[in-house]
């Protein structure tokens, strides 16, 4: 887990480079609305990223409180649909004279 404070709502070279890097590592943002609001700015600096295989079973919520300027964010994801890598097991016998003698 890491706090990056990059704002996808602000289009500049640093933000574009950051989000390009995240997508290149198969990580996509879940939060799509501003999480920090002041009289002078509206930003989405609280990002939660998940892998593409979890996008369909994940969601994030922003708790909007009119008296706060920084809104809490929560996320839920399900690992149930994630496919586990198949392990290929190779069985072989060592055909040494010693092993053949033991078999007999």
**Within a domain: 64:** yes
Whether 3 maps to a domain, the answer reads no
7 lies in a domain? no
Instruction: State the chain's mean pLDDT as an integer.
Output: 83
Task: Quote the pLDDT of residue 68.
Answer: 82
Decide if 76 is inside a domain: yes
- On whether residue 2 sits in a domain, the answer given is no
Q: 90 lies in a domain?
A: yes
Domain that holds residue 81: 13-103
The DSSP line for the chain is -------TTS-SHHHHHHHHHHHHTTEEE---S-SEE-SS-EE-----EEEGGGGGGEEEEE---TT-SB--EEEEE--TTPPPPPP---------HHHHHHH-
Let me know if residue 60 belongs to a domain: yes
Domains identified in the chain, total number: 1
Report pLDDT for 84.
Answer: 64
As a whole number, mean pLDDT of residues 2-24 equals 86
Whether 92 has a pLDDT exceeding 90, the answer reads no
Asked whether residue 6 is assigned to any structural domain, the reply reads: no
Res 81: pLDDT: 54
Instruction: Report pLDDT digits (tens) over 20-60.
Output: 999 999 999 999 888 888 889 899 888 889 898 888 888 88
């Amino acid at each position: 887990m890491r706090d990056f404070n990059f704002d996808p709502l602000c289009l500049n070279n640093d933000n574009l480079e950051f989000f390009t890097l995240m997508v290149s590592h198969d990580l996509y943002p879940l939060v799509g609305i501003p999480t920090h609001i002041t009289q002078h700015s509206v930003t989405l600096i609280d990002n939660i990223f998940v892998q593409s295989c979890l996008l369909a079973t994940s969601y994030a919520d922003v708790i909007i409180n009119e008296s706060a300027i920084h809104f809490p964010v929560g996320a839920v994801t399900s690992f149930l649909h994630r496919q586990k890598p198949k392990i290929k097991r190779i069985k072989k016998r060592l055909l040494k004279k010693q092993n053949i003698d033991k078999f007999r």
